[in-house]
Amino acid sequence: MAVAVMQSGGVYMFANQLGCDGDRLYFDGCASVTVNGNCVAQGPQFAIREVVSCHCSTHCLFIAANLW
């Protein structure tokens, strides 16, 4: 994720489910926000809470100029 966003610039917000599908997959629930290739916010993995919020603030000029 970080490499793709670093090359083109932009904001990438990733949200993942928490739990399993009842067969083989287990989703760790780690959400993250990447700005211009830098991970600026990341939620906890394998959290006990049912809902976890991950947020950050950035300015549009940083994204357009690919600065962070």
- The dihedrals phi and psi of 7, each to the nearest 5 degrees, come to -70, -40
Higher pLDDT, 45 or 41: 41
Considering the entire predicted model, what is its pTM? 0.67
Q: Tens digit of pLDDT for each residue in 3-22?
A: 777 777 788 888 877 777 77
Dihedral pair phi/psi, residue 13, rounded to 5°: -110, 125
What pLDDT sits at residue 16?
Answer: 76
> Which long-range CB contacts under 8 A does 29-34 form with residues at least 24 apart?
32/1, 34/1, 34/2, 34/5
